[in-house]
Amino acid sequence: MATSQKVDFFIVGAGFSGLVAAERLTQAGFSCVVIDKREHIGGNAYDCYDEAGVLIHPYGPHYFRTNSARIVDYLSQFTEWHPVSYQVKSFTQDRYWSFPINLNTFEEWLGRESNELEWQDYLDAQKVPIEHPQNSEEVIISQVGWDLYRTFFEPYTLKQWKRHPRELQASVCGRIPIRLNRDDRYLTDTFQAMPAKGYTALFENIVAHSPNLQLRLGVDYAEEKQHWDYRHLIFTGPIDAYYDHCYGSLPYRSLRFEHETYSGEELAARLPISEKAGYWQPAMQVNYPDLEVPFTRTVEIKHATGQQIDVTTIVREFPEDWGPGKEPFYPVPTDATSELYSRYKRLAEQETNVSFIGRLGTYRYYNMDQVTGMALNEAEKLTQRYQSTPELSP
Ligand SMILES: Cc1cc2nc3c(=O)[nH]c(=O)nc-3n(C[C@H](O)[C@H](O)[C@H](O)COP(=O)(O)OP(=O)(O)OC[C@H]3O[C@@H](n4cnc5c(N)ncnc54)[C@H](O)[C@@H]3O)c2cc1C
């Protein structure tokens, strides 16, 4: 029987959580192995060039943003940045709308010019008085009333989650701003930028900066763990899978992506629909709220990456049930799933040498900056704990 290799930290998952933790721990002098069942690093933030040479995000578009100088400083060691203001539109009733909802949307709604005063009066008349919104329907109708909610939110949410907004926690729709002014930026974080050479290049630099790191790609934890003798496990995969789904499976929504590439001539013919030469659509992301349209959004990531290339690739996103062979993309934020997750969390709290971090490890929709912060904190905690113990390997 082959002997197992000794290592301080065994890390499952080569996404932001796993690789950031590995970089910090190896810099502190520990040895780490990072494994991933996928054949590449980067987790869901992985990007690559398609056959036409367009830089794409195969697991859905990833718009980096943060309000944390600490996260920007940390990640800036591994990448330069391409600043970007992420733009989204909505397409329904045969036309594009300014989105998130703002004064421009209201003018499009009225079909004439207006002002903040009239917009505010409209909202005051329409909104449903609910002091403490309890779900995603209430959070929106309490701000804009039924008409805008039924146009832009209700069908989109039903399609995306296959659940009514009433069944989803207020945070799901509540994270989308409603603005009185003409600010149509999708996000308002102080730092909004894409890694200048892409996410995969950023991850490669993290790996290159991790002196005592071994990477094993295309291997599953269940099989790989027997080959390693480790002091501590950092698990960034699904927490319920770690416990063999003993309380039942935590549900996810999955996605199917359809990519379409267009030549320079096709793009020229598309003006003025795209409004911008060399692009297929007028903004990086267009939402399709109507239920009759089977996809939720089209993304032309070239708007955000700033890649200078004649051709373009757009991606249509089709929400799907999650099941065997499908990627667990979005944890489903309902009260029932929170309750189920807290049962797994109680098991996790009893572990002495296992940490669960990241989006799947904590069953929560975290953004990239948030999981980076979580990994930095965990690595700091583990460094303090294991640096004070003389024997690092068991
Ligand atoms: C469609 C979509 C769009 C998103 N858009 C944005 C955005 O615009 N901005 C933003 O900030 N965030 C966005 N996110 C969130 C972002 O993807 C996450 O915050 C981040 O990637 C989480 O990193 P992670 O390392 O925790 O998890 P992941 O990236 O999911 O990495 C976990 C890794 O663990 C591996 N793994 C799991 N189980 C096992 C096992 N048993 N054995 C071996 N390996 C295993 C997986 O293969 C995976 O590679 C988006 C997410 C999705 C799904």
Residues 6 or more apart in contact with residue 362 via CB below 8 angstroms: 239, 345, 356, 374
- pLDDT value at position 227? 96
| From 16, 23, 40, 44, mutation site for ligand 1 pocket: most ligand atoms within 8 A of C-beta | 44
Which tops the pLDDT comparison, 1 or 282? 282
pLDDT at 64 over 80: yes
For the chain, give the percent of residues with pLDDT over 90: 92
pLDDT at 390 over 70: no
CA of 44 to the centre of ligand 1 (A): 4
- Cα–Cα distance, 217 to 154 (Å, whole number): 41
Q: Whose CA is nearest to atom 44 of ligand 1?
A: 36
- pLDDT value at position 211? 94
Ligand 1 pocket, 366 CB below 6 A? Answer: yes
User: Reduced to 3 states, what is the DSSP secondary structure of residue 312?
Assistant: strand
Ligand 1 pocket, 232 CB below 6 A? Answer: no
Contact 304, 194 (CB under 8 A): yes
User: Reduced to 3 states, what is the DSSP secondary structure of residue 316?
Assistant: strand
Residue ranges of domains in the chain: 5-83+194-247+331-387, 101-174
Ligand 1 pocket, 298 CB below 6 A? Answer: no
- pLDDT value at position 39? 98
Write down the mean pLDDT value for the chain. Answer: 95
Residue-wise pLDDT for 186-230, tens only, equals: 999 999 999 999 999 999 999 999 999 999 999 999 999 999 999
Residue-wise pLDDT for 77-107, tens only, equals: 999 999 999 999 999 999 999 999 999 999 9
Q: DSSP label at 306?
A: -
What atom in ligand 1 is closest to the CA of residue 222?
41
CA of 17 to the centre of ligand 1 (A): 8
Contact 215, 32 (CB under 8 A): no
User: Reduced to 3 states, what is the DSSP secondary structure of residue 366?
Assistant: coil
> Exposed/middle/buried for 41, CB within 10 Å: 0-12, 13-18, 19+?
buried
Q: At what angle do helices 116-126 and 103-110 cross, to 10 degrees?
A: 80
User: Reduced to 3 states, what is the DSSP secondary structure of residue 92?
Assistant: strand
pLDDT at 295 over 80: yes
Residue-wise pLDDT for 230-285, tens only, equals: 999 999 999 999 999 999 999 999 999 999 999 999 999 998 888 888 999 999 99
pLDDT at 336 over 90: yes
Contact 372, 71 (CB under 8 A): yes
The CATH number assigned to the domain with range 5-83+194-247+331-387 reads 3.40.50.720
Ligand 1 pocket, 13 CB below 6 A? Answer: yes
- Cα–Cα distance, 291 to 159 (Å, whole number): 7
Confidence band, pLDDT 50/70/90 cuts, at residue 393: very low
Residue-wise pLDDT for 116-166, tens only, equals: 999 999 999 999 999 999 999 999 999 999 999 999 999 999 999 999 999
CA of 117 to the centre of ligand 1 (A): 43
Confidence band, pLDDT 50/70/90 cuts, at residue 2: low
- Cα–Cα distance, 128 to 142 (Å, whole number): 5
Residue with tokens 């149509």: 184
Q: Whose CA is nearest to atom 49 of ligand 1?
A: 43
Q: Whose CA is nearest to atom 33 of ligand 1?
A: 13
